[in-house]
Amino acid sequence: MEKFVREQPCSDDTESPSKKLKPEGVEGKEQAVDAEEDDFSDPVPWQKIESEGLDCDYALLFTKEEADHLFQKLEQEVVYLTGEEAKVKVFGKVYNIQRKQATYGDTGLIYTYSGVTHLACAWTPTVKYIRDFVTKITGHTFNFVLINRYKDGQDYIGEHRDDERELDPLSPIASVSLGAARDFVFRHRDARGKQSGRHIEPVKLVLAHGSLLLMNSPTNTFWYHSLPVRKKVLLPRINLTFRRILSTRK
């Protein structure tokens, strides 16, 4: 497998990582993240989304004010892939993609996504803050995140499963959305293509600003997901999918 080594810096952020991230209006949540792990009792109203082999939980994690602030911080901090690294490979063919991507994680982690191997950059303060908040709320830990930035509704992600062999199959994938609300569609693997013998309804969601979608096992075995083009959406969106990687291949 081809490997691309990142040449650009991983972060534009010049603040100390220990500096408080959220000076305005989010003190309660800042404290919640700093606190020792005692319970996961924050009052998040979860919505269960289920179908055959699909098990997801959805919640609004951040208020609009918090989500606006986090979006702006990510716009300052995240450095997106460019050049060869920004391409994806499907059935051996290399394609440019319109959306921008970045990968952050624990030291030395590498992850192959869409046929391209990415080396994780060190966590930025805001990405780490969001990761820790998701952990606080869910009880799950993550060592890697893939960030997708969609400049508007013309940018999309095609149907795929997050089933790479490096992923811990039992860990959920935690998808945090900031910015423009976008439609998100799950399609069962047996309901794809013209030859499909089964009719299984797709599962359609709207991923709101500040939301968290937990894709629990075995969702990514049986269901493909996509973020379709929506030409009426004029604003940008950033999505962070926090993952747990089992092995580090060098």
Judged by the rule CB under 6 A, the positions of this chain that interact with ligand AKG are: 146, 148, 157, 162, 175, 177, 184, 207, 225, 227, 239, 241
Supply the minimum distance, in Å, between the C-beta of residue 194 and ligand AKG.
24
Tell me, what amino acid is at 132? D
Q: Please identify, using beta-carbon distances, which residue of 128 and 161 lies nearer to ligand AKG.
A: 161
Q: Structure tokens of 60? A: 């609004």
Comparing CB distances to ligand AKG, the nearer of 78 and 227 is 227
User: 26 vs 178, which CB is nearer to ligand AKG?
Assistant: 178
Nearest-approach distance from CB 113 to ligand AKG, in angstroms:
8
CA dihedral (189, 244, 70, 206) in degrees, to 10, reads: 20
Whether the CB-CB separation of 183 and 204 falls below 8 Å is answered with yes
Q: From the CB of 110, what's the least distance to ligand AKG, in Å?
A: 16
Q: Which is nearer to ligand AKG, 33 or 207 (CB)?
A: 207
- Nearer CB in complex with ligand AKG: 135/226: 226
Q: How far is the CB of 64 from ligand AKG (least distance, A)?
A: 19
- State the nearest-atom distance from the C-beta of 15 to ligand AKG, in Å: 27
- Give the residue at shortest CB distance from ligand AKG: 239
